[in-house]
A and B are shown apart, each in its own frame.
Chain A
């Protein structure tokens, strides 16, 4: 029963993450080619806290793959940037969650920062030049409020989840 519930929830979360990701690519928040602030990371963060790092990573990779298939950008330059950003962010969030030093908002901000760094590193290879680093300051600067926002949303959800889960037994 628990297994089925988990599977259904993960599938729902994946759908939410995909929608968030597509909305995010449609609106131009930042003046950086191919880069995103990573609002879809909110789902990854929730999964890491609710289930495990492994589930979070699996969901993140599936999300990036499915979004790029749906938008026809599979294996294009933007795909590599998204993949690298999302994977690095998930690794960072998993690590900082495990150390238990920061709260959810802190973990989210750090994930956001690493999301940016991961994208820029992939960008260096995609473009073939370190010129992309010129975009790092503005992206890092914007990723802090983005990280705080996703952290607060994830925290709110997590609190509701905890009460709900206790009620269910």
Chain B
């Protein structure tokens, strides 16, 4: 019994060490190397759709968008594109008092970056994530996500991780 415990303890330590090395290197790779290249475009998606509501084209410095389907009792037409403040406003899925709340996304053509500056959710994880130049931004309670692409192909709405 005591012997068995000892062997298992040793195996546990080996297991943890191996996992730390493998996952540690994957983690370091992802954090420091995977998103180093400049992105050409950032797509903003709503729900499970793979057809972006809006695309921020960093190369040609323009915004392409299509109308977001929202119920009739919401007054504005989404997305709201504000070129002066460089923001795009969408209607998220998170409800406060039964009303869906907006998600405000700010883009920067020069830095090729995107940032979620306003949203309502229990923990505000995606707005706390800050500025991103390649890492996807995901607002789970609002079902809105932003994904980056290194090359822009208009015909093929492909997505990369």
Residues of A with Cβ closer than 8 Å to B? 28, 31-34, 76-78, 101-103, 105-106, 109-110, 113, 123, 126-135, 137-138, 140-141, 144, 148, 151
From B5, B9, B26, B161, give the contact of A140 (CB < 8 A): B26
Contact A131 B145 (CB under 8 A): yes
Contacts between chains A and B (CB distance < 8 A), count: 100
Interface of A is mostly: helix
Min CB distance B16 to A, Å, is 6
Q: A109-B19, A110-B15, A134-B161 are in contact. List 9 more A-B contacts (CB 8 A).
A: A33-B138, A103-B8, A105-B9, A127-B140, A130-B161, A131-B147, A131-B161, A137-B27, A137-B31
Which of A101, A126, A141, A148 contacts B24 (CB under 8 A)? A141
In the complex, the answer to whether B128 meets A31 with C-beta atoms within 8 Å is: yes
Q: Which residues of A contact B11 (CB under 8 A)?
A: 101-103, 106
| Bound Cα distance A128, B57 (Å) | 23
Q: Across the interface, do A128 and B47 meet the contact criterion of CB distance under 8 Å?
A: yes
In the complex, the 3 A-B pairs of residues with the closest C-beta atoms, listed nearest first: A128-B48, A103-B8, A33-B140
B8, B139, B141, B161: the one contacting A133 at CB < 8 Å is B161
B window 119-161: CB within 8 A of A: 123, 125-126, 128-129, 135-136, 138-141, 143, 145, 147, 159, 161
CB contact list, B9-37 vs A, under 8 A: 9, 11-12, 15-16, 19-20, 23-24, 26-27, 29-31
Q: Are A105 and B161 in contact (CB under 8 A)?
A: no
Query: B45 an interface residue at 8 Å Cβ cutoff?
Result: yes
10 contacts between A and B (CB under 8 A): A33-B125, A34-B140, A102-B8, A109-B16, A127-B138, A129-B159, A131-B145, A132-B136, A138-B31, A140-B27
Q: Are B123 and A131 in contact (CB under 8 A)?
A: no
Could you tell me the distance between the alpha carbons of A76 and B121 in the complex, rounded to whole angstroms? 13
Flag if B15 contacts A141 (CB, 8 Å). Answer: no
Q: Is B60 an interface residue (CB 8 A)?
A: no
Q: B50 at the A/B interface (Cβ < 8 Å)?
A: yes
Contacts A102-B15, A103-B5 given: A33-B141 contact, CB under 8 Å? Answer: yes
What distance in Å separates the Cβ of B141 from its nearest Cβ neighbour in chain A? 7
